[in-house]
Amino acid sequence: MFAALADQFCVSGIDSIQRTAMDVRLELVHFIRSDSNLGSQIQANLEDTDTLEKYLDRVSKNGTWGDGNMLSATSVCYKRCLEILQTNGSQRIIIDNPAVSPMESLFLGYVSSSTPGLQNHYISLRRDVHIEHNDIQQYTSKSMNC
């Protein structure tokens, strides 16, 4: 998820140089620690056995999957809406941020696997709008230098 977000920051113009997945991960963890309201909201979503500090310590480590809490934090921290398309064809997930226009969205794909041993993951998508049909075509990301 964090690599997909880093790519989206590049293609959306948030960054003039490419952040790494670890940069994004640590920025989000730091942001959550510094925002008590967001931290309280995330704490309310955690299992009873987890504390916010344990969760943030765990998610700050490379290899730990991002989750809905981190996607919500992304929307607040970077002031962007997020649109997530799923491979199973179900409806888009939209993480709205009323402080910004939906035109300032980040586009991710969620690839879920029902095959044992294969992991679910997020990919960065490109948006191409055809004005005459108002269609949106999504393309998976290719590495690019910003």
Domain limits, the chain:
2-140
Q: For 146, which DSSP code?
A: -
Q: For 34, which DSSP code?
A: H
Tens place of pLDDT for every residue, the chain, 146 residues? 999 999 999 888 777 678 899 999 999 999 999 999 999 999 998 988 889 999 999 999 998 989 999 999 999 999 899 999 887 766 778 888 777 777 778 999 888 776 666 667 889 998 664 434 334 344 333 333 44
CA angle, residues 80, 62, 118, in degrees to nearest 5: 90
Strand partners, 136: 129
How far is residue 61's CA from residue 25's CA, in Å, rounded to a whole number? 8
Residue 42 near residue 32, CB atoms below 8 Å = yes
For 2-140, CATH gives 3.90.70.80
pTM of the model as a whole: 0.78
| Cα dist from 134 to 13, 69, 80, 84, 137, whole Å | 23, 31, 22, 18, 10
Q: Per the structure block, which two tokens stand in for 106? A: 């980040």
